[in-house]
Copies of this chain bind each other. A is one copy, B any other.
Amino acid sequence: MSATGVTPAPTVGRPRAFDMEKALQKALEVFWRKGYEGASLPDLCEAMGINKPSLYAAFGNKEQLFLKTIELYENRPCAFFYPALERITSYEVVQHMLCGAASANADPDNPPGCVIVQGALACSESATFVKEALIAKRRAGEVALCTRLEQAKAEGDLPANAEPAALARYILAVLQGMAVQATSGANCAELKQVAETVLAAWPGKRPELE
């Protein structure tokens, strides 16, 4: 959360000829579309508009570049997730997650799906670290939602027999399934229908009229 993020930025020497953030954005697009292993260095360099040595000097290596793009992904295209937790009712929390995912996963301005799901779902041993980093990201989301649903249960928003852990896992499964659907060609309206189907059966209090 500090300046350590993306290189200290030196005051002397030849200045960098490209915008790191924009380059990172381009790299994200490539990883998003092709996955960690499917994205080659020439692919990345071409999209980023730089050469390999510049990439390595600025971002370390392919693995570190990927992790930085994921950070960017969480702060931009996927920025709907954690803020959704702050809604007043569990219904609204889940509603914002599902609808946000529908919009983000099928946004025509971005590759389809979710890079945290499809970035390294099945891969060779050499990508194990990246794969497990993504697993940890997904799990972190599930844990955060679970905690929020426990709070909802304590508040009486969710019924006494509700199981926050199971509900959180269910919602994350739907979100991840929506990502798969998006990569298969589902559009935003179709994903919103999935969201609606989930919401129609949500056990928590409705915010609407009364």
Contacts and interface: CB of A to CB of B under 8 A. Distances in A.
A167 interface: yes
Interface string A126-160: 01000000010011000000000000000000000
B138 A35 contact: no
Interface string A62-95: 0000000000000000000000000000000000
**Chain A, interface SS category:** helix
Contacts of A172: 177, 181
Total copies of the chain: 2
A198 interface: yes
Contact of A118 (B34, B113, B122, B173): B122
A179 B176 CA distance: 9
A193 interface: yes
The winner among A115, A197, A200 for most chain B CB atoms within 10 A is A197
Interface residues of A, number: 50
Contact of A37 (B37, B139, B166): B37
Interface in A188-208: 190, 193-194, 196-198, 200-201
Interface of A: 32-35, 37-40, 43, 113, 115, 117-119, 121-124, 127, 135, 138-139, 163, 165-167, 169-170, 172-181, 183-186, 190, 193-194, 196-198, 200-201
